[in-house]
Amino acid sequence: MKQEILNKLNLGEDHERECKLATGGLPESIWETYSSFANTNGGTILLGIKEHRDSFTIEGLTDKQIVKYQKDFWSTLNDRNKVSKNILLNHHVQVVEVEDKKILKIDIPAADRHDKPVYIGTDPMKGTYKRDYEGDFICTEEAVRAMFADQRDVSADVEVLDEHGLDVLDQDTVKGYRIVFEQLHSGHPWNALENDEFLMKLRAAAKNKNGTLSPTIAGLLFFGEAYHITEIFPNYFLDYREECDDKAVRWLFRTHSNEGDWSGNIYDFFCKVRTRVDDDVAVPFANRRDGYRIDRVDIHDALEEALANALAHANYYGRRGILVIKKGKELSISNPGTIRVTKEEFYAG
């Protein structure tokens, strides 16, 4: 019976939904759910119905209730003192008949990043919600700021850190990067540039308001020393661990950005870790056309790309750092931040 009702509503079993009986008027909690669905992955609000574990209780709504609820809903949705953004169109709100009773179905899409955060009231820090398996929850100020930051089409990475000079960059890192760059791009005109000019070409440095050179945010993260990075990003932390099933052993190998005997920046972390994440990948015995053995397969590139993407797209203003754990043949990479495409677009490539 439950599946039949879901089919009638064009909803899959795993579709995010919130059912409200709404017998005494348009529920105030509907706006928290509107905000949470919009800021997460979208969902559907059903008024006039209650969901149980294996069934629904369908009370239905009268025609008079439906007219009033629709009027109240659209009126509040378009009041900027009540809701920050209306992301719905007329077809998102429908009257549906189920078991000869009428319910109100409100489909809420995931908001575009330019519209997030979608919040209730006039203070985004107090009225922004997201959704998890337990329901609607209010976002932290950090999460709200991350949504505002994600609105920008121009990356914050090129922001110039006016108060810092290029001395905050680790010169050994810059030197090592230039060696690799020259190996990959022999004959490139940038190879003849002085370090300052080279860093400007990479957008790792730029002229500040005084006309002298300062690192950009990207430059500091990529080439800087961890001590200076944490002055801007207090919670910056890069952590790589190799674990095993023996609970008495915390880890087999570990390196992190606060060790103090290396720079702790993104580039050096990537160089230290990249060969470890894929050194157990099996490579079938085969030779290239030139007679040399093939020593890399596609999975090597995939693992390194996953690591590079996690480092490049993390929200370093967040409360937690990047954690990479290798355990047997499993590799997990977690970073603070969100992707700028929908889940469907992500999995579709």
Name the pTM for this structure.
0.60
Antiparallel, parallel or unpaired: β 238-243 and 213-215: unpaired
Average pLDDT, the chain: 85
Residue 310 banded pLDDT, cuts 50, 70, 90: confident
Domain positions in the chain are 2-150, 157-348
What torsion do the CA atoms of 134, 140, 143, 148 make, to the nearest 10 degrees? 120
Q: What is the CA radius of gyration of the chain?
A: 26
Q: What is the pLDDT of residue 316?
A: 85
Q: What is the pLDDT of residue 290?
A: 53
Is residue 95 scored above 90 in pLDDT? yes
Top-level class of domain 2-150:
alpha beta
Residue 280 banded pLDDT, cuts 50, 70, 90: low
Task: Report the SS3 class of residue 35.
Answer: helix
Q: What is the pLDDT of residue 198?
A: 96
Q: What is the pLDDT of residue 145?
A: 86
* Span 219-227, average pLDDT: 95
Residue percentage of the chain with pLDDT more than 70: 85
The pLDDT tens digits for 259-272 are 999 999 999 999 99
Is residue 153 scored above 80 in pLDDT? no
Residue 348 banded pLDDT, cuts 50, 70, 90: very low
